[in-house]
Structure 1
Amino acid sequence: MDETFTKIASKCARIMGQPQTFIIAILLVIIWGASGPLLKYSDTWQLIVNTATTVLTFLAVFLIQNSQNRDGAAMQAKLDEILRSLDKARAEFVGIEHLTDAQIEAIRHALEKDIRDAGGRDGLAVPTVERLLQRY
């Protein structure tokens, strides 16, 4: 079932992310809007678009979350492989995405302090990023 859901979710996410799908959605909204005067802006007329958008939004949330979960897991696996393959990398960093936000923040602060202490730099990318942005 997991494999089937992944295939369906991936295909739906791919379709929903296409410009043609966006254009079709806009056209449907225009058709719905144009039908308003014909249907005298009735409660049924309003209910059609409200129901359709609610259902589609509800389903899209699950598709988006599934895609983000897979992308995040794939990215973590790739980063873990890089850490595993580098001689000077700390293997203890593999799997830190499972820690709490507070634990990860503490690790980040410790790394920044370590960089400041070791290299005399401030440990942040701000000066470098500012220089880059000034060039463009």
Structure 2
Amino acid sequence: MSNNKIGLFERFSNVATKFTGSSPAFISAVVIVLAWGLSGPIFDYSETWQLVINTGTTIITFLMVFLIQKAQNKDSKAIQLKLNELIAAHEKASNRMVDIEDLTEEELDQFHKFYVTLAKLAKNESNIHQSHSIDVAQKLHYRKAIKLAQTLSDETQPSKDC
């Protein structure tokens, strides 16, 4: 996407996010706090002197909350898109996981239960490197159960030799 299509706020937030997370921004903040602290005797540590730093830090904190949230939202969206691409590209991955972040808390809890079950099934695997999607795991588990039941049934059948 070209810079022409990026809005003014988007460009500002990108620059501000990069700057506020930099060493020069931290050093600037330290210098401001030191200058304020050293100016205390000049202003006789008055209420106005204290109000200056309190007001300044409150305003900066208030604005930074929104800036940080915007950066988090953008990063989260980029990560979700990358994960969706990996899921879509892997033929054995469950496509149910694409856009899972849009589900309700209850729906996410259901998926969590599936993965708990999947973990329990994996503990019973003889091959520790074996992995399955949710869809495949349950089918394989039922196949194994049927095979075991057939094996047990064959063992309990009277022999034809008798």
TM norm. shorter chain > 0.5: yes
In structure 1, runs of 5+ residues without a counterpart are: 122-136
CA distance in 2: counterparts of 1:53 and 1:119, whole angstroms: 52
Residue deviations 1:74-99, cap 9 Å, x none? 10011111111110011111111011
Q: CA deviation at 1:10?
A: 1.1
Residue in 2 aligned with 1:109? Answer: 113
1:83-122 superposed Cα distances (whole Å, 9 cap, x missing partner): 111100111111110112332132122112123224516x
TM-score (norm 1): 0.82
Is 1:6 aligned with 2:10? Answer: yes
Separation (CA, whole Å) in 2 of partners of 1:17 and 1:106: 38
User: In structure 2, the residue corresponding to 1:109 is in which secondary structure?
Assistant: helix
Larger helix percent: 1
Match of 1:75? Answer: 79
CA RMSD, Structure 1 to Structure 2 (Å): 1.7
Q: Which amino acid aligns with 2:16?
A: C
Q: TM-score, normalised by structure 2?
A: 0.69
Larger Rg: 2
Structure 2: any 5+ residue segments left out of the alignment? 126-162
Letter in 1 for 2:84: D
> In the comparison of the two structures, how many residue pairs are matched?
121
CA distance in 2, matches of 1:57, 1:92: 39
